[in-house]
Structure 1
Amino acid sequence: MSKLFLDLGNTRLKWASADRPGDWLAQGDAAHDRLDAALAAWRLLPAPASVHGACVAAPALREQLDAFVQAHWARTIDWLAPSRHALGVENRYRRLEQQGPDRWAAVLGARARFPDEALVIASAGTALTVDAVTADGVFLGGMILPGYRLMKRALATGTARLPDAEGHLHDYPTSTEDAIETGIRTALAASVDAMAARLVARGETPRLLLAGGDAAQLTSLLNTPATLVDNLVLHGLAALAFA
């Protein structure tokens, strides 16, 4: 029987079903205010053997999914909590209760897809997270920054004269819109490159994995070659469930 995997993020739900790791039988995504579309798609699926999720969204959304899965399939969702060890990865996050389960799942998904490699895992979504894993499987930790859209919104709402308007990338911007666009994208890309440089300084040769809806905003500015990946959280949940 297949299993169902859920990534309930800050703004969207991503999901996939599989009967083995990484081989999706069905998948989809929906904004928080369109969860009914995801539930409608799930009604067409055969009953899964189990349901596994990572959640960083509001408790009410998690409860809505819990209720559907219980009512429709008589299943409970196994929501991931970060652990000290999993799938050969040692987690050095100091306080596990503070670590987002999506970040931990993404680390595990990245390790499952690229075993025995040092990794920088950058997810450019509502927030930009940049995490580091050594070749021998130690998750060292990482950074969290406001994402592309959050940065633009913060400038627009926190200042009197800076607009939330579309700009373009230039080496030497000569308009406010272009200055904001170039500044934000440069700052985000530099944060990713900085983490790669830190791993290199440790003697690692990291592979940079770039994911998230705003990944395309960063690729042209990175000094480190990037491998674009999708759904690392779902891949991590699947690797755990089928281990």
Structure 2
Amino acid sequence: MRTLTLDIGNTTVKYGCFAGDVLLEAALAESIGQVRYLLERLQPDHVIVSSVAEDTAAWARQWQKQIKGKVLEFVPATTPLPIRNAYATPHTLGADRLAAAVGAAWFWPTHDTLIVDAGTAIKCDWVEGGHTFRGGSIAPGLRLRFEALHTFTGRLPLVAMPPDLAAPVAWAGDDTQAAIRSGVLNGAVAEVNGFIEAYQVQNPDLRVVLAGGDAGFFQPRLKGRIFVIPELVLIGLHRILVHNVEN
């Protein structure tokens, strides 16, 4: 079975093509309108679409005309899942968070997992025992923090991400830009490490998996053993689609 997974985020459209459980191709599409060309080129049997940014019903109807199988719109509150969703307000739950949880549960079906998804927002989510999504935390991502300091103050400049993500960030900035860079970047790392330590107190055998566009910045700075799976959301979407096709 060949599947196409589509993750429409706040700033990008990510796609993954799977044959069985093997990820053949993953990349960014220029826009949601480019998906019809992906369907022509990749010829999937089934498609799943997930969005935190816009309604996908019209697109799904259009894509259904191009394929013979299922076009599944992933809705966290109603779409059947291979894990239990214990979130108190599933209708407000971001589809990317739940898809990442399904992906983590597929990799570690018997372990507690903490997912650190570092993108537009930094999300730390807990999957209990490989079977239950328990929720977690949402905080501004790195670029949002830089933008907020500039937008909501009178004189602080807009500071960009450093070009070399592996370069050390000085703790004591000796000018205003360096001070902002320290507060945003070192502060975010300390924050995430704090969440990891807090969850590890509850479960010393915790698995920690890192995903998202800013995973490359966080990877060398987080404490302990970290699994990096950039395509975790796409893998989770694939498993949700397979679950709905086979059941």
TM range (shorter): 0.7 to 0.9
Inter-partner Cα distance in structure 1 for 2:130 and 2:239? 18
Tell me how far 1:166 sits from its aligned partner.
3.4
1:24 maps to 23
Does residue 119 (structure 1) correspond to residue 118 (structure 2)? The answer is no
Which stretch shows the higher mean deviation, 221-230 or 206-215?
221-230
SS at match of 1:26: strand
Percent identical pairs in the alignment equals: 29
Contact 2:48-2:73 at 8 Å conserved across structures: yes
Contact 2:6-2:13 at 8 Å conserved across structures: yes
RMSD (Å) for aligned C-alpha atoms: 2.3
SS at match of 1:106: helix
2:39 maps to 42
Inter-partner Cα distance in structure 1 for 2:204 and 2:81? 21
Deviations 1:74-129 (A, max 9, x none): 66631122259843x33221111111111111000011122222211011111111
SS at match of 2:158: coil
Give TM-score scaled by structure 1 length.
0.86
Give the one of 133, 147, 152 matched to 2:146: 152
Inter-partner Cα distance in structure 2 for 1:136 and 1:69? 33
Inter-partner Cα distance in structure 2 for 1:73 and 1:203? 45
Give the one of 50, 54, 74 matched to 1:58: 54
Inter-partner Cα distance in structure 1 for 2:130 and 2:229? 21
The 3 A distance-change label for structure 1 pair 167 and 83 is closer
Does residue 240 (structure 1) correspond to residue 223 (structure 2)? The answer is no
SS at match of 1:73: coil
Tell me how far 1:136 sits from its aligned partner.
5.3
1:182 maps to 182
Inter-partner Cα distance in structure 2 for 1:191 and 1:133? 19
User: Residues 1-20 of structure 1: matches in 2 within 5 Å?
Assistant: 1-20=1-20
**Residue type matched to 1:29 in 2?**
L
Which stretch shows the higher mean deviation, 104-113 or 2-11?
2-11
**Residue type matched to 2:40 in 1?**
R
Deviations 1:53-90 (A, max 9, x none): 2211122xx25632541343366631122259843x33
User: Residues 187-198 of structure 1: matches in 2 within 5 Å?
Assistant: 187-198=187-198
Inter-partner Cα distance in structure 2 for 1:222 and 1:136? 22
Contact 2:119-2:214 at 8 Å conserved across structures: yes
**Residue type matched to 1:51 in 2?**
V
Contact 1:129-1:142 at 8 Å conserved across structures: yes
Matched length: 236
Tell me how far 1:167 sits from its aligned partner.
6.5
Deviations 1:150-183 (A, max 9, x none): 1111111111111112376102111111111121
Inter-partner Cα distance in structure 2 for 1:167 and 1:139? 32
Contact 1:90-1:137 at 8 Å conserved across structures: yes
Which stretch shows the higher mean deviation, 223-232 or 138-147?
223-232
Contact 2:146-2:160 at 8 Å conserved across structures: no
Which stretch shows the higher mean deviation, 64-73 or 182-191?
64-73
Inter-partner Cα distance in structure 1 for 2:184 and 2:106? 32
Unmatched 5+ stretches in structure 2: 163-168
Contact 1:116-1:137 at 8 Å conserved across structures: yes
SS at match of 2:192: helix
Inter-partner Cα distance in structure 2 for 1:92 and 1:111? 14
Inter-partner Cα distance in structure 2 for 1:241 and 1:35? 19
2:166 maps to none
User: Residues 89-108 of structure 1: matches in 2 within 5 Å?
Assistant: 89-108=83-102
